Structure 1
Amino acid sequence: KRRNCLGPPCSLPPSDPHPSNNEGSRKMSDSSAPAPSPAAPQSADTAAPSSSAAVPNGGASSSSSSPPPKNAVGKVEQGAMSSSTFRFLLLVMMVLQNSSTVLVGRHTRAGVANVEDLYVVNHLIMVCEGMKFLLACVLEHFHTNGNLLRSVKENVLDRPVDALKIVIPSLLYLVQNSLLYVALSNLSAPLFQVTYQCKLLTTALVSVVMLNRRYSPKQWVCLFLLGVGVAVVVLGESDQQKRLKEAADAAETVEMKDAAAAAAPIAAEEEDGSLPAQSLFVGLLAVSVACLSSALAGVYFEKVLKKPTTETGTGKARAPVSLWMRNIQMAFFSVCIALVQFLNLDGDDGSKKFMHGFTGWVYCLVMLQAGGGLLVAAVIKYADNVLKGLATGVSVVVATLASMVLFGTPLSGQFVSGAVLILGSVFFFSNNLPGVKRKVESNVEMKGLLPK
């Protein structure tokens, strides 16, 4: 019986190679069936014609084409999505990236002794977007198994109208990044980190309007408590700045002014005049507009990703554009927009050389910003918004504690109370998302990075 069962398979290869190749292709298609959910429908549709076309050609050309690499990538994606260790690593990386970006960004702006030594924000944005463009190209190169140029031709040159859709979020993200540095120059790190969490509120409101999403009453309560927490923090910060300014004005001797400057750096900067005076109103306005820009860009980007893509001539459905290719398009348009702003610079910023004031900390900020946008996409692709919400909340605590140690930022009871409300709202809102199954590739912020 064993010889009868084992005989036919052993005799097939020398007599007729085509059935064995067809058998192997069927096994490969069967083994690739449980691929990740976003790629499963399209890989299943494309695997059948490729395997059937392999029979008349002898199976040589199809075996060296795209199906095996797609299966390999699919296995990696499936393993990454099901690995709790990988998700925890993404959580740690995002917490460190968010906290480090805020602390390093404030240090590069407020830690400069002379205004003339400050870098131009437009220069920084150009360098950040250029670095993000290069990183996205590298990731797309590996994602397409070395076919980056073919991917660019298919998704950009052959579909220019679809690529031009990314101009809108690119412009909005450029506005957001510019305003964030204005906010960092006028707000303390804890206040900026907490108030910037309002992007969750603005994103929810914009998604209701643009995507017709619905939220539970519990989630709207969380959003209301988030707004209350932000108001408590803002009022506490305003009272603290008033007290610090009054203490600096009351100092009569040089020694007392120096002591007041050590305890009240914001008031000291306004008194000394070596740095631009910090304005709470300007900082809060910049954060508010940045949150709105982030919400509009993220929801619009999500809508573009979720919209089915079709062939221009035939109208047939085609594979969706990858997140890395979308990042390439977005970074390219952002560099072009920033270049136009650079050519129109005037005054002191226009007289400064390109990358003037770039120090080691500024280059560190460039890497954090460039990698952060791609990290947000990875978190949303391989995890979900629950993980992103937790990472954002934890980063607030980490940045606050680090600011206490590095900058000596005092914390009041109002700040602690408001921070607790905000962190609790973010946590419960993120753990009670709308009951709609989301495709992995259609997740952007809730960007939300993405964060991006």
Structure 2
Amino acid sequence: MAHEQISLVFKLYCLTVMTLVAATYTVALRYTRTVSLDLYFSTTAVCITEVIKLFLSLGMLARESGSIDRLKTSLTEHVFRSPKELLKLSVPSVVYAIQNNMAFLALSNLDAAVYQVTYQLKIPCTALCTVLMLNRSLSRLQWFSVFLLCGGVTLVQWNPAESTKVQVDQNPVLGLIAIAVAVLCSGFAGVYFEKVLKSSDTSLWVRNIQMYLSGIVVTLVGVFISDGPKVLEKGFFYGYTAWVCLVVFLASVGGLYTSVVVKYTDNIMKGFSAAAAIILSTVASVLLFGLQITVTFASGAVLVCLSIYLYGLPTQDTTKLIRAEPHKGTNQRLMII
């Protein structure tokens, strides 16, 4: 009983943190990319996020190891002497780097609520990747929820809400293309990381360190490819404010919680968290950005929230052991344990 209570408390804690981080990150990022005319370089923000996640993971691994000697041994064995593992984890690093930069681009051209709802297309993308990469099957209810989600997103985009306080020009088409790329990256990278994480007993924080080391290299390359001349002219931290620092911090914490969720939580928690984040970010967009909510947008948002909930419902276990109990004659009765 005590174990169940601890498990419930842990799930509620994760649900609360995930929801608040996701909603706050979306609104804060939206604010930093649309209100100020002296925009910071999104590539540098993504790079700094990877650095912070690396140090946070090192801290968690040190706590898990219990001593400096064990920490050094773990890092030597799994990081410095495991080039193959680093290469393996460089794949999601590259994909996540693309995803994060696409998120900045999308939120620079879309309203926060539109972004949040449309981004839930990562669920059918993740479902497809799960079926193809992990050889899992989805129930009819889960596939129904996928199509319901697509219908909800269609309604959201049918008559998109408009913001009245945006001070920069926006390109909705570019925003939708960016979010489509981000959705594909999210689905593939998430399932790939889950496959690597659950295929061995290697510590979660070790895997994170392997991935973030590669991520720092990848994002640094991205900085100088995309904004190299501007960064050299204006500085790496050009345009940074307290709000930008908050965005970077939230992205770092959100990244760590994503890895924790993959290992310790379930779809129900992720579904409720995503649905609650949509509601919170929409309300915040109304208050901060003057977002005008239309009937079609509200209907689509409701369908999205419903589909997320349905997708997270537990399915009946069809892999239960079936035992045949013999009877007289040739007939047998099947007993399900």
Structure 2 length as normaliser, TM-score? 0.88
Indicate if the aligned counterparts of 1:186 and 1:280 stay in contact, CA closer than 8 A: yes
Q: Please say if residues 54 and 208 of structure 2, whose CA atoms lie closer than 8 Å, have aligned partners that are also in contact.
A: yes
CA distance in 2, matches of 1:380, 1:168: 17
Q: 1:232 aligns with which of 145, 149, 155?
A: 155
Partner of 2:16: 92
Q: Does 1:322 align with 2:222?
A: no
What are the superposed Cα offsets for residues 58-102 of structure 1, whole Å, 9 maximum, x if unpaired?
xxxxxxxxxxxxxxxxxxxx9598432222121111110000000
Note if contact 1:219-1:432 (Cα within 8 Å) is conserved in structure 2. Answer: no
The answer to whether 1:284 aligns with 2:173 is no
Structure 1 CA distance, aligned partners of 2:5 and 2:307? 26
1:163 shift after superposition: 2.5
Instruction: Give the CA deviation at 1:191.
Output: 0.2
Is this contact kept in 2: 1:123–1:354, CA < 8 A? yes
1:219 corresponds in structure 2 to 142
Alignment of 1:236-275 (within 5 A): 236-237=159-160, 264-266=164-166, 269=167, 275=168
Corresponding residue for 2:263? 381
Q: Which runs of 5+ in 2 are unaligned?
A: 320-337
Write the distance in 1 (CA, Å) between the matches of 2:245 and 2:308.
31
Residues 57-136 of structure 1 aligned to structure 2 (within 5 Å):
82-112=6-36, 114=37, 117-136=38-57
Letter of the 2:164 partner, please give it.
A
Question: Once structures 1 and 2 are overlaid, which stretch shifts more, 95-104 or 395-404?
Answer: 395-404
TM-score, length-scaled by structure 1? 0.66
1:35-434 pair list within 5 angstroms: 82-112=6-36, 114=37, 117-146=38-67, 147-237=70-160, 264-266=164-166, 269=167, 275=168, 277-308=169-200, 320-344=201-225, 345-432=227-314
Deviation at 1:209, TM superposition (A): 1.3
Q: How many residues align?
A: 315
What is the aligned-residue RMSD (CA, Å)? Answer: 2.0
Gaps of 5+ in 1: 1-77, 242-262, 270-274, 309-319, 438-452
- Following TM superposition, by how much is the alpha carbon of 1:405 offset from its aligned partner in structure 2, in angstroms? 1.3
Q: Counterparts of 2:253 and 2:318 in 1: how far apart (Å)?
A: 29
Q: How far off is 1:169 after superposition?
A: 0.4
Checking the alignment, whether the CA contact within 8 Å between 1:121 and 1:178 is kept in structure 2 is yes
User: In structure 1, what residue type is equivalent to 2:300?
Assistant: G
Per the alignment, residue 19 of structure 1 pairs with none
Code of the residue aligned with 1:169 in structure 2: it is: P
Paired amino acid for 1:385: N
Aligned equivalents of 2:4, 2:246: Cα separation in 1: 28
For residues 137 and 431 of structure 1, what CA distance do their matches in structure 2 show? Answer: 35
1:347 deviates by 4.8
- Aligned residues of 1:101 and 1:368 also touching (Cα < 8 A): yes
| Paired AA for residue 159 in structure 1 | S
Percent of aligned pairs with the same residue? 36
Cα separation, 1, equivalents of 2:284 and 2:136: 37
Q: What secondary structure does 2:40 align onto?
A: coil
Deviation at 1:110, TM superposition (A): 0.4
Q: What's 1:5 paired with?
A: none
CA distance in 2, matches of 1:156, 1:174: 20
Amino acid at match of 1:395: A
Q: CA deviation at 1:265?
A: 3.7
Is 1:81–1:382's contact at 8 Å kept on the other side of the alignment?
A: no
The higher radius of gyration belongs to: 1
Contact 1:87–1:383, Cα closer than 8 Å, also in 2: yes
Q: Could you say what secondary structure the match of 2:66 adopts?
A: coil
Counterpart secondary structure, 2:206: helix
AA partner of residue 355 (structure 1): F
How far did 1:383 drift?
2.7
Q: 1:402 to 1:343 in 2, by over 3 A?
A: closer
CA deviations on 1:238-292 (whole Å, 9 max, x unpaired) are xx55xxxxxxxxxxxxxxxxxxxxx7345xx4xxxxx3x2111111111111010
Relative distance call for 1:411 and 1:152 in structure 2 (3 A) is same
Distance 1:169 1:80 in 2: 34
Quote the Cα distance in structure 2 between the aligned partners of 1:280 and 1:434.
Answer: 41
- Cα distance in 2 for partners of 1:365, 1:292 equals 23
Q: Distance in 1 between matches of 2:132 and 2:260?
A: 26
Cα pair 1:176 1:293 within 8 Å, conserved: yes
8 A contact 1:87–1:382 mirrored in 2: no
The question of whether the paired residues in 2 share the 8 Å contact of 1:230 and 1:418 is answered with yes
CA apart distance, 1:339: 1.5
Contact 2:33 2:107 in 1 (8 A): yes
Distance in 2 between the 1:402 and 1:118 partners? 22
4+ aligned runs moved over 4 Å, structure 1: 78-81, 433-437
In the alignment, the residues of structure 1 paired with residue 5 and residue 233 of structure 2 have an alpha-carbon distance, to the nearest angstrom, of 49
Please give the alpha-carbon distance, in whole angstroms, between the structure 2 residues aligned to 1:423 and 1:387. 13
